Structure 1
Amino acid sequence: MTMTVREAGLALADPAAYADEPRFHEALALLRREDPVHRVEAEGYGPFWAVTRHADILEIERNHTLFHNAPRSLLVPAEMDARQRQREAEGTALRTLVHMDDPEHRVVRAIGADWFRPKAMRAMQQRVDELARTYVDRMAELGGECDFVQQIAVHYPLYVILSLLGLPESDFPRMLKLTQELFGEGDPELRRGAEADDVLATLLDFFTYFQDLTNARRAAPTDDLASAIANARVDGAHLSDIDTLSYYVIIATAGHDTTSSTISGGLHALIQHPGELRRLRDDPALLPTAVDEMIRWVTPVKEFMRTATADARVGQVLVREGESLLLSYPSANRDEDVFDEPFRFDVGRDPNKHLAFGFGVHYCLGAALARMETRSLFAELLPRLESVELAGRPEWAATTFVGGLKRLPIHYTLKG
């Protein structure tokens, strides 16, 4: 059935649409071609401009003084937007780097920045490689069949990020459940419940856990990222309780779900493109470009929102002060004006100017770690992988923010 431009725009506000990748990319291609800055008025949501071309998104990201993250950082139902504004007024709102603008953003980002610089990544490499080996060994123990998402991909990066934070392994299952509930808010299978209060209950559980952690690290600091956050000072004072807890939440969640989606989506792409799998196995030197192609292909972060601080022209459209824009990263990363054959998975793609990590001052803090984790897992898996194929139908999570595959049943044979 032929899709209209209006229907294509509405897909961006429909979590279920993201779970039907072919149809979703058809919608995005239509918008890029026919109306690349498209006004969307979806039931239950405040209106917004959907920005779908790479060049327009890049220009918005570059101009962070004209286009702010606040007050509408993510696409959520209008009811949740209203609750967020109320909590902001009360001083009880979740305030992560995603919600902040400069100069506050620059100061708060610096608290964790050193933990993701090259020196820190080199120090983490051994632990990441050990965990990659552990999870490929687990695949061997599973006897040649598994749900790669649920049994491998969601665990490995969570263990990495929680190791960086310095949390005990006994707490990892609890963190896994909470992160899936938070980012699975649009998916009936993953979310805690269908009401806005259920999202708040998940956040409250996060906050309760991390408040205890903050108290412990302030009483007895240790050499981990949790201590750096707990003991950080801005203008001589600790972060507020809500800002401290928000920092933990963004590190624990964004450092997990995005990478697990890339790893599972990357393996799925290799299964779908056996020629590229052979090419990568025959030439392991391609692994760095293959990892970036997996990131482009999956684009785990689907959108961020911006608000115009003054009247501005985006493409051919005049956006008025105070109006909201949705930056569609999956669309940017399939833009025909930027990528040769954008719907071809190419492990040697170079250059690869994807925007999966954003751009400019809000460029993903954990980008280097995400690349390292993905590279380490496939560096361990590919030399041992003799065969792999689907053992059932893959399923994608319903989401408008972060997500990817939630099931990837596979048959495989491994050496050793």
Structure 2
Amino acid sequence: MSHPVADGAAAVFADPKAYTDESRLHATLAHLRVTAPVSLVDVPDFRPFWAITKHADIMAIERDDALFTNSPRPVLMTAEADAQQDAMGISTLIHMDDPQHRVARAVGADWFRPRAMRALKVRVDELAHTFVDRMVEAGGECDFVQEVAVNFPLYVIMSLLGLPESDFPRMLKYTQELFGSDDEELQRGTTKEEQGMALFEMFTYFNELTAARRATPTEDLASAISNARIDGEPLSDIDTVSYYVIIATAGHDTTSATISGGLQALIENPDQLQRLRDDPALMPLATEEMIRWVTPVKEFMRTARADTVVRGVPIAAGESVLLSYVSANRDEDIFVDPFRFDIGRDPNKHIAFGHGVHFCLGAALARMEVTSFFSALIPRLRSIELAGRAEHVATIFVGGLKHLPIRYSLS
């Protein structure tokens, strides 16, 4: 079956508001998977790219990291934002390729291994119960995203880094402004200069933290990053700060989006909520289904190092491809009844954490946080319903719900 190499519907990937209307978004992605699974997108303000919507093609591209590189374009941004980041010299794990990526990833890897996760679980469980208690204190009604979901994972990742609780609100503001730069409610100002200040202020904060941890090392991830050495040399200032930024942001917004989107899915599918209530042993599978359902990281980009072909479509050296995880996680060729929220789905071959050498460093922590929170909430939940309209962040990279008004009764 031949396909066109361009479909106007693929412009959806460059439209932040498209991600605020899930039914329209998924209808568009389903159309693209059938009619133009590899589609050229050439729209104003963005450099052209190829949108990849099928699970199998995304997996193949992720596996071939020698042919498809993260550098120089790891995420979809406007041409102006690309140039701004290049000028700042930002180089996080998602910007790197091997061998540099392998060495840099090792700096933080030990903090996310099973042994470290087991040690952290006590703190995560404690925080989960604390935030469920806060729901009780709220009196049976709250905006679950803003009052619970954004704070719980923030407390976890900030505790891991070893940052003082007094700095948590500031870090929350920075991360929401960075990932919400296309959202009128969350963005910092309306000009690129104003929006760039969030990143600048975050860099300033982490530069000061680096200096403090180098002067007085402590037993936390912040010290591990600040005092890391590669080939005997300390990380440069920009590389150190870039490392902090990826840990602080990726370890926060993705998990809060999964927890809030997961709760919405349980409310809207009461049979699945009851099923989980009746059989708590399903929690690990339910966690995976929430992650698939929400897919907080919408896309990553890769650039072809040499001429190649994807699903019969020629991709030239130097051209970029967008890997739509949102589309892949609803692919009818991979998932039985993909638009059904099924907490017992097994197998669940979602790729919300990516695949290959760039598989999410914090995947185990994210899974633990989701499992801990719902394990604390559901046994105490007597009733729950929506108390208003759920609203999504306008974004083309990372995001989920920004408001989820709920009414509930907890024991």
2:281 to 282, 285, 289: 285
Q: Which of the numbers 302, 315, 319 marks the counterpart of 1:319?
A: 315
What TM-score do the two structures reach when normalised by structure 2?
0.98
Which residue is equivalent to 1:252?
A: 248
Counterparts of residues 151-170 of structure 1 (less than 5 Å)? 151-170=147-166
Could you list the per-position Cα deviations for residues 213-234 of structure 1 after superposition, in whole angstroms to 9, with x for gaps in the alignment?
Answer: 1111111111100000000001
- Give distance in 2, aligned partners of 1:131 and 1:83: 38
> How far off is 1:80 after superposition?
1.4
For 2:174, the aligned partner's letter is L
Greater Cα shift, 184-193 or 160-169: 184-193
1:83 equivalenced with 2:84 (yes/no) = yes
TM-aligned CA deviation for residue 204 of structure 1: 1.1
The match for 1:190 is 186
Equivalent residue letter for 2:42: E
How far apart in 2 are the matches of 1:7 and 1:136?
Answer: 45
1:227 aligns to 2:223 (yes or no): yes
Match of residue 51 from structure 1: 52
- Structure 1 residue 194, shift from structure 2 partner: 2.4
Deviation of residue 186 (structure 1)? Answer: 1.0
Which residue in the other structure is 2:3 paired with?
Answer: none
Deviation at 1:201, TM superposition (A): 1.0
Q: Does 2:303 correspond to 1:302? A: no
1:383-398 equivalent positions in 2, closer than 5 A: 383-398=379-394
Q: Tell me the secondary structure at the aligned position of residue 12 of structure 1.
A: helix
Following the alignment from structure 2 to structure 1, what is the Cα–Cα distance between the partners of residues 173 and 84?
24
Residue 318 of structure 1 aligns to a residue whose secondary structure is strand
Q: Distance in 2 between matches of 1:7 and 1:134?
A: 48
Alignment partner of 2:97 out of 101, 106, 127 = 101
User: 1:269 is matched with which residue?
Assistant: 265
- Identical residues among aligned pairs (%): 67
Structure 2: distance between partners of 1:7 and 1:392: 34
- Unpaired runs of 5+ residues, structure 2, are 1-5
1:200 CA drift (Å): 2.2
The Cα shift of 1:397 comes to: 0.4
Name the CA distance, whole Å, in 1 between partners of 2:238 and 2:202: 11
**Structure 2 residue identity aligned to 1:217:** R
| 1:235 shift after superposition | 1.1
CA distance in 2, matches of 1:309, 1:7: 26
Aligned with 2:142: secondary structure? strand
Q: What's the TM-score, normalizing by structure 1?
A: 0.97
Aligned to 1:21: 22
- The residue that corresponds to 1:340 in the other structure is 336
Partner residue, 2:396: 400
Partner of 1:65: 66
Q: Which runs of 4+ in 1 moved over 4 A?
A: none
Contact 2:385 2:407 in 1 (8 A): yes
The farther-off stretch of 384-393 and 185-194 is 185-194
- Residue number in structure 2 paired with 1:366: 362
Measured in 1, the distance between the counterparts of 2:348 and 2:398 equals 21
Cα RMSD of the aligned pairs, angstroms, is 0.8
Residue 235 (structure 2) aligns with:
239
For residue 197 of structure 1, report the CA deviation from its aligned partner: 1.7
Q: Give the aligned partner of residue 41 of structure 1.
A: 42
Letter in 2 for 1:194: T
Alignment coverage as a number of residue pairs: 406
Give the AA of the match of 1:245.
V
CA displacement, residues 271-298 of structure 1 (integer Å, 9 cap, x when unaligned): 0100000000000000000000000000
Alignment of 1:129-208 (within 5 A): 129-208=125-204
C-alpha separation in 2, matches of 1:313 and 1:325: 12
User: How much has 1:212 moved relative to structure 2?
Assistant: 1.0
In the alignment, which residue of structure 2 is the partner of 1:211? 207
List runs of 5+ in structure 1 lacking aligned partners.
none
Residues in 1 aligned to 2:124 and 2:185: alpha-carbon distance in whole angstroms: 30
SS in 1 for 2:107: helix
- Distance, in Å, in 2 between the alignment partners of 1:174 and 1:72 is 28
Bigger shift: residues 205-214 or 108-117 = 205-214
- Aligned-pair distance for 1:81? 1.7
Deviations 1:329-388 (A, max 9, x none): 000000000000000000000000000000000000000000000000000000000110
Q: State the one-letter code of the partner of 1:361.
A: V
- Could you tell me which amino acid in structure 1 is paired with residue 129 of structure 2? R
**Offset of residue 203 of structure 1:** 1.2
Displacement of 1:82 after TM fit? 2.4
In the TM superposition, what is the alpha-carbon distance from 1:199 to its structure 2 partner? 3.2
For the residue of structure 1 that corresponds to 2:409, the secondary structure is: strand
Q: Distance in 2 between matches of 1:94 and 1:229?
A: 16
Indicate yes or no: 2:121 matched with 1:120: no
TM-superposed deviation, 1:193: 1.9
Deviation, structure 1 residue 195: 2.2
How far apart are residue 198 of structure 1 and its match? 2.5
Aligned counterparts of 2:231 and 2:195: Cα–Cα separation in 1: 32
Task: Return the offset for 1:43.
Answer: 1.1
Alpha-carbon distance between aligned partners in 1 of 2:276 and 2:8, rounded to the nearest angstrom: 39
Is the contact between residue 178 and residue 199 of structure 2 (CA under 8 Å) also seen in structure 1? yes
Query: SS in structure 1 opposite 2:14?
Result: coil
Q: Partners of 1:77 and 1:219 in 2: how far apart?
A: 39
Structure-2 separation of matches of 1:309 and 1:325: 11
Mapped to 2, the partners of 1:310 and 1:196 lie a distance apart of 34
**Counterparts of 1:220 and 1:50, CA distance in 2:** 47
Distance 2:200 2:167 in 1: 16
